[in-house]
Each structure stands twice: as C-alpha cells, then as structure tokens.
Amino acid sequence: MQSVATALTRLGDLAATPTVSRLATAFHESGHELALVGGPVRDAFLDRPINDLDFTTSATPDQILQIVKPISDAHWDIGRAFGTIGARIAGEKVEITTYRSDSYDGQTRKPEVVFGHRLEDDLLRRDFTVNALALRLPGLTLVDPANGIDDLLAGVLRTPISPEISFGDDPLRMMRAARFTAQLGFTLDVDTAEAMEAMADRIRNISAERIGDELSKLLCADDPHVGIELLVDSGLCDRVMPEIPALRLEVDEHHHHKDVYQHTLTVLDQAIGYEKSRGSFDGPDLIVRLAALLHDIGKPGTRRLEPGGVVSFYHHDLVGAKLAKKRLRALRFDNDTISAVARLTELHLRFFGYTEGAWTDSAVRRYVRDAGDQLERLHILTRADVTTRNRRKADRLGFAYDDLEQRIKELAEQEEMAAVRPDLDGEQIMAVLGVGPGREVGEAYRYLLEQRLDDGPLGEEEATRRLTSWWAERGR
C-alpha cells in the first residue's frame, strides 16, 4: 500500500502522459467534467500496474464523441447504449462513460440506464468503496465520497451503500466480491458477507455469459483459491457451479477418503505454481485453472463404499469430463475451452498407471497422441494432482513423471512424435488397395496408425507390406 502522497504523485505522472493530458485538456476546453475513475486510481494506491484507463464525465455519449474524434486515432461506440465510448488516443485505448445512476429492477438481467449529473453520485453507485475513487482532471483532485482510502488501508471490501441495495441493483457484484478477494487479497466486511449469503439466489437474475466471464476473471486472479472458497461459503457456487460444493462429500465413520473439496483447492494452487514455474504460458492460463478446478467433479456421482473401509470412484474421470462439458456449455464458454478442459479431465488419471509397471514406447506414444495439443497442460494437471502428505510417495510419483517426460522428449526427438501419423496417407492407401474414398480407407488409416504407435516409423515399403497383408486377411 502506497502512502497518499506517493499515490498522488504516481497519478500526477499518469495525468501528464500524452493520452491523459490530451483528454483532460479537450474535455476542460469543452466545458465538461472529466475524471479518471475506479481501478487505475485504486491500483495507484496499491502499487499495482495500471493497465486499463477508465474515465467518467458529465458529457453525454454524443458529446463525448464530438470531443474525442479530433484527438483520437480511432473511436468506437459499441457501449453507447450504456453511456460508454471507446477511443485510442496517443496509442492507448481508453473508455469514457457518462455519469450514471442506473440500477437493476430485480427481475430482468439488464440495467435500466439512467445518466447522472454528479461525479459523487456516480461513484456511490459503484460496486465497492475501493473502486469508488476518482481523480478529477486536469486539477488532480482526489474524490472519495465513500471513504475508499480507509478501506484500502484496512484491506477491506465494502459496498459504498447498503450491500442489500447494491447487490439488489446488480447481483453480479457478489461474484465480483469473490474476484477482488482473490485479486487484491482483501477480506469482506461482515455486513457485505452476510448480504451475499442472504441474497445468493439473486445471482439467477444474471445472464450465463456474465457469470462465466466473472468466473474466468476470478480464476485468472493471483489467488483464486480464496475467491472460490467465498463463492462456496456464501452459497453462490451452488447456483453458478454446483459441482464444486458437491465435492464436500459426507464422511462415513467406516469409510475414509481424502477430502475431495480441499484436495481440489490444493490442486488448483499447485497447478498455478507449475504454470508459473514451467514458463509455458504468457500469464494466467484459464484452461489449466478450469481443469484443476473441475478434474474431480465426477467423484460424487461415482463414489462407492466398498468392503473393508475402501472408497472407490471408478470412472470418475469419464463422468467428470461429461459434467465439465455440460457445465461450461451452460456458462457459455467457447468450444475450444470446453473441449480442452473436458479432455484434460478425461485424461488426468492416465499417468498413474505408469507407476504400476513400465510403459512400452507404444504406451508413451498413445499418451502423447491422446493429449494432442493439451500435452503441456496435462503435464501440469497431472503433477498438480499429487497432494499426498507422504513425502516418499510424492517423490516417487514426481520422479516417475520426470521419467515419463524424459521418454516423451527422447521419442519426440527420434520420431518427431508431435506429428504422429501413419507412414501412408489416404491417397497412398487407396492406391495400394485399389479402392476409392470410403469407410475402408478410414479403417486402413487407423490400422496403420496403430502399427505406427506400436512400432514407431515403419517406412513406406514395410507399411505397404503390412497394409496388403491386413487387407488380405479381411477376405477381400
């Protein structure tokens, strides 16, 4: 946390940049108020990087367009109905929004947009006091009508007005509360936490797209663990992703197993650690984090209490993959993300057979083939899934996966395994067999692929010999 003087100096430096100074001058000369608002002001106090530049103004959307057109490289009005105009000024993207005082009616999923007249009123309609901060431009006057600076100093999330009214106006703010605890490391004040629990069912008024987007932002935060716990403890998760609280399985006095819910949170933490340490991605990887969160959601539906105090979860990987696909579709995630997360969930147990006996080269090739372009993420998820406190067991699994990765690397170098395909393509298969396009060509292709996986590169001559023999054995 920066001192007020240091933060104001940082904001002053920001105001002197070409983008902000041009905007401030243009709005001042037009006779309209302009203020830098929300996240940039908050992050200046928290000594966090300032990325998005958001402004609020007394000008209407039409007036904003008139002001920014002469000074912008480009502009767009996709958010015009909500009072927001976007522009690129001096190479930076900015958003400028007319003062607002709108709210939700508690029934529909869209707000009634009402433009306001005062900066202070606009700030008080925002989600949390730490985001209800503004810097008037060009005069560099800090505006803090809800005592957000005090809450920043205390590390507390609190709504500027009654949480019941704030969450009633926009129920998605309850999910934002979970996201900001994860991003900023803050805690909720008591009244806000109690209102979230009491009003959790209101989240059903929010569209699936907005919920999915907010969940993605939460998972890409610095510490999503605490945010997920808040969603579960408040009851929100029961409404948006019930598979997660369902992991809190009842403990039977005669049957004992790992706490699946806490295990999942640990896997999420460890996956983030591997994601960062391996350096495989530029920034947070949503697919890795979704897969870590969802990889065991098939366990509640597959749990069986076996004789002798044993608990089994047979096929929870396959069941979980189907559940993950269904939930992510319901939340309107894109098809590529859905497919990747489901595939990782389906494959997350595959490695554990590696420690039970030596895999052949063929088995290693199949592991790579089945993972496809998700291999690196599968490496991360599989390693993260080891949460045993038994150090000897953890080391054994870690060494085994080191060995598997080394074998994959060696085979890839020998065979260019990343592009495993049969030694003959479709055209060659048809020429050898004397057939045209059809089902038989697909069957022949799969046969040659299995041969390739079992024995490595065959060469065109040997592949042709095996294909001819296979075709003859079919009685053709």
pLDDT 10s digits, 9-22:
899 999 999 999 99
State if pTM tops 0.85.
Answer: no
pLDDT tens, residue by residue, 241-252? 999 999 987 554
Interval 40-44 mean pLDDT:
93
Coil, helix or strand for 390?
coil
Rg (CA), the chain: 28
Quote the pLDDT of residue 254: 38
Q: Which residue has the tokens 């489901």?
A: 342
Quote the pLDDT of residue 255: 41
Interval 37-43 mean pLDDT:
92
Interval 58-68 mean pLDDT:
94
Q: Specify the DSSP class assigned to residue 107.
A: S
The set of residues, in sequence order, having a beta carbon less than 8 Å from that of 82 and lying 6+ positions away, is 97, 100, 111, 113
**Dihedral in degrees, nearest 10, Cα atoms 312, 317, 320, 325:** -170
Confidence of residue 200 (pLDDT cuts 50, 70, 90): very high
Q: Which domains does the chain have, with CATH numbers?
A: 1-154 (3.30.460.10), 245-419 (1.10.3210), 426-473 (no CATH)
The set of residues, in sequence order, having a beta carbon less than 8 Å from that of 244 and lying 6+ positions away, is 228, 231, 232, 237, 261, 264, 293, 297
Instruction: Compare 169 and 271 and report the one with higher pLDDT.
Output: 271
**pLDDT(163) > 60:** yes
Residues β-bridged to residue 100: 115
Q: How far is CA 345 from the centre of its chain?
A: 15
